[in-house]
Chains A and B, each alone.
Chain A
């Protein structure tokens, strides 16, 4: 149990927000990315951050390092190789059975110890549920600045990190600096930064770091893990692919076409507000201003007019495909791909096309 930190006096003068780095932080160098590695898989956001981190490191003329923790050493070494091929110069590896499942205490202690030992100037984490949970406690322990959910990172001429993030629910953006403390911490939303191309054969240095952890010191125990894929509850807010229906489906029975396509694509399904009002579907499936806000990779809107109340709930999707019989439907103003056709006819055809391509033979629906 780390004892609560004694608050160190704040550094630097506040007048005019000038940036004067205290002596002890002057030696902090290099850009780090915390690599999320759970259930044997790297979270794609970590690779995106390595791409972004490479750009920042090159601008600063410093090295890009990855930091990864877990239980299985071979797996961690494989992660290091993957990191080198995505731009990392070195990877700090911390292997310990206690780190098998993510828990706040041990992972905070590990990351804090790594930072205090190797002193990075920039530390990036994915703005995932894990990343935000970890970043919050590490930043407080280090008494340093942390900017959440960044959508853009730059290095200004004073070699400082300029982090831009949405505020007021995304209606505004603001650029934030960490003035006089190091490391400058930031979490970045998945699928905002580009995935860098893999450079097969690129190598780098691995640094094993030993931490002294004792299971009985750690009070939080993981009992079970239920993956989304296996749970039946609507996980619209977290789904990568969403297929939704609107009044254009003309009747509740046609919602089965929406569900069929969603199942073939391994995604989730929902609908616009009028469907809830007409009782065609439960309220927790509603997408839009008074329903869920979704940020999937692919959003297929079938028979949805795309009124502004719906638009604000789906604008974060990477690719919006809109099917509507009315060429003037507002949804065509913000969708990427538009098809002026009857969704009730097109959806089954789309389901068959994807099923053939993915040679998925189980019954959809």
Chain B
């Protein structure tokens, strides 16, 4: 393997492929992370689109930040980054739901 390492290019594997490996019990109807209503997303909120390791945050056509917590690994990074700006409601899923690591 002698190819030069491309700098920050499109990840080799789409995030969906990665998350497919994981074991996840969806608590349908009870998302454990919610983005509070906003017209203009704060800088911190926009950061979540890149920083979330499971790619749960995206920007909708109307320019608002949306979250789909399926595949969330409950790391807490988004809660910490938006702690001051208070953009999201973050909780653990109900006991037994959410990600369930096979190896960890």
Contacts and interface: CB of A to CB of B under 8 A. Distances in A.
Instruction: Tell whether any CB of A sits under 8 Å from a CB of B in the complex.
Output: yes
Interface of A: 273-274, 276-277, 283, 290, 307-309
A308 B68 contact: no
Given A273-B70, A274-B68, A283 B20 contact: no
A90 B37 CA distance: 72
A309 B28 contact: no
B20 A308 contact: yes
Contact of A309 (B16, B29, B68): B16
Given A273-B70, A277-B68, A308 B29 contact: no
A156 to B, nearest CB: 38
Contacts of B29: 283
Contacts of A307: 16, 20
A309 B20 contact: yes
B17 interface: yes
B73 interface: no
B16 A308 contact: yes
5 contacts: A277-B70, A290-B26, A307-B16, A308-B20, A309-B20
Contacts of A308: 16-17, 20
B38 to A, nearest CB: 18
A284 to B, nearest CB: 10
Interface in B18-72: 20, 26, 28-29, 68, 70
A329 B70 CA distance: 21
Contacts of A283: 28-29
Contacts of A309: 16, 20
Contacts of A290: 26, 28, 70
Contacts of B70: 273, 277, 290
A309 B26 CA distance: 13
A250 to B, nearest CB: 9
Nearest to B21: A308
Nearest to B67: A277
Contacts of B20: 307-309
B22 to A, nearest CB: 11
- CB-CB nearest 10 A-B residue pairs: A308-B20, A307-B16, A277-B68, A290-B26, A283-B28, A309-B20, A308-B17, A308-B16, A277-B70, A283-B29
